[in-house]
Amino acid sequence: MAKMEHTFIAIKPDGIQRGLVGDTIKHFEQKGFRLVAMKFLRASEELLKQHYIDLKDRLFYPGLVKYMNSGPVVAMVWEGPTVVKTVRTMLGESNPADSQPGTTRRDFCIQVGRNIIHGSDSVKSAGREIGLWFESEELVDYKSCAFDWIYE
């Protein structure tokens, strides 16, 4: 059995306002990944600044924090083998214009500054981001009834 990983995914305020929560989550459910944790919240500026700390010197950083704080987000943890890399592929490039058809960002949005969804870029960032957004007891341990039909 392949080693399981966790990744952090967030539907950004534009994804919520545009009614794209169901369509984006459906993609991960249909793929066969397991939903481990989920919450709906308006993230504080403090949390968002920490979340995007690696980008603190970029000109767009203040605008990015403001955009992410402009409304609620859906924060989630998903599990699967190589889920971090696979989700990044499913989301497409940071800029929707550079993304392949069939990816979330290509199919549902237009500009990099309104790209509707976040996914961790490495196993290390996933661990850091999950720790920022969730308490360990919020990660739910259960066996999906589809498990034996997804994995051999």
Residues in contact with ligand IDP by CB under 6 A are 55, 60, 64, 94, 112-113, 115, 118, 121
Q: How many CB atoms lie within 10 A of CB 84?
A: 21
Give the 3-state secondary structure of residue 144: coil
Using CB positions, name the residue nearest to ligand IDP: 94
Partner that binds at residue 32, options Mg ion, ligand IDP, none, CB closer than 5 to 8 Å by kind: none
Cα–Cα dist 118/32, whole Å: 19
Give the 3-state secondary structure of residue 82: coil
Assess 138 for contact with Mg ion (CB under 5 A): no
Written as one letter, the residue type at 131 is G
In sequence order, the β-bridge partners of residue 35 are: 78
**Minimum distance between the CB of residue 52 and ligand IDP, rounded to whole angstroms?**
6
> Is there a catalytic annotation at residue 118?
yes
Q: 51 with 132: CB under 8 angstroms?
A: yes
**Minimum distance between the CB of residue 43 and Mg ion, rounded to whole angstroms?**
16
Among 121, 123, 132, 144, the residue binding Mg ion under the rule CB under 5 A is 121
> What amino acid positions are annotated as catalytic residues?
118
Residues that bind Mg ion (CB under 5 A): 121
